[in-house]
Chains A and B, each alone.
Chain A
Amino acid sequence: NAGVTQTPKFHILKTGQSMTLQCAQDMNHGYMSWYRQDPGMGLRLIYYSAAAGTTDKEVPNGYNVSRLNTEDFPLRLVSAAPSQTSVYLCASTPRPGLAGGFKNTGELFFGEGSRLTVL
């Protein structure tokens, strides 16, 4: 009963390096998203995908995402900066976020997070 799996759990990299945070879910959820969690800031949405093969909003600078299939939703840091030091949380939900959004479900299923430090 894996749910949402994130790897790695911890990683340290240097400014300018690139890396990919992996997220996979085995619940056949259409909707997947990435949040970052910072002390005193709560959770902030980075990007979401409503279905495999779709891009639903502009990708923030410094990140790259892809959704080639339903299960996987990797987040790539193109050229890491210290401002990207954070805990990254991946989430999924069975509702694709179309009309009605989260009104009727509201439950996001989260992974355990990836703690990333950029030196």
Chain B
Amino acid sequence: GNSVTQMEGPVTLSEEAFLTINCTYTATGYPSLFWYVQYPGEGLQLLLKATKADDKGSNKGFEATYRKETTSFHLEKGSVQVSDSAVYFCALSQTGANNLFFGTGTRLTVIP
């Protein structure tokens, strides 16, 4: 079946620190992979995505590379800001599917 395993949180970092949130997946075939972000008091929004192996998704300084050999899609940012404090969800979808499979979410808090 399909599943997503995310790094347990919460994660607390100082401003300008390097961020990595690990995400691995189990799926048949060639899923698409996503990172969603949920800022306090807001709905989820798409942060970045990758639709095939070796693709790199990027947005707002965040990056994630689709690694089929390690079934991973780790989220990274070189220098976090207080405004990056949010909950981050890794997700996957299969071709022809009508829903996303989400990880459990990782809460990030960035302190000044």
Task: Report which of B4, B6, B46, B97 forms a contact with A108, defined as CB distance below 8 A.
Answer: B46
CB distance from B91 to the nearest CB of A (A): 8
List the B side residues contacting A4 at CB < 8 Å.
Answer: 43
CB distance from B13 to the nearest CB of A (A): 21
**Bitwise interface map of B from 75 to 107 toward A, beta carbon under 8 Å scored 1, else 0:** 000000000000001010111111110111100
Do the beta carbons of B46 and A106 come within 8 Å of each other?
Answer: yes
CB distance from B3 to the nearest CB of A (A): 10
Report how far A21 CA is from B4 CA in the complex, Å: 28
CB distance from B100 to the nearest CB of A (A): 7
Report how far A99 CA is from B100 CA in the complex, Å: 15
Query: Which A residue's beta carbon lies closest to that of B94?
Result: A101
Interface residues on A, range: 20 to 34
Do the beta carbons of B98 and A89 come within 8 Å of each other?
Answer: no
Query: Which A residue's beta carbon lies closest to that of B6?
Result: A42
Report how far A113 CA is from B39 CA in the complex, Å: 12
Report how far A31 CA is from B100 CA in the complex, Å: 13
**Bitwise interface map of B from 21 to 56 toward A, beta carbon under 8 Å scored 1, else 0:** 000000000001010100001111110010100000
Name, among B36, B43, B97, the residue most crowded by chain A CB atoms within 10 Å (CB to CB). Answer: B43
Report how far A108 CA is from B32 CA in the complex, Å: 13
Query: Which A residue's beta carbon lies closest to that of B44?
Result: A110
CB distance from A55 to the nearest CB of B (A): 12
Task: Report which of A44, A106, A112 forms a contact with B32, defined as CB distance below 8 A.
Answer: A106
Give A contacts to B, CB under 8 Å: 4, 31, 33, 35, 40-45, 48, 50, 56, 89, 91, 97, 99-104, 106-113
Given contacts A107-B49, A112-B42, 8 further A-B contacts (CB under 8 A): A40-B104, A42-B103, A43-B91, A102-B97, A104-B51, A106-B34, A106-B93, A110-B43
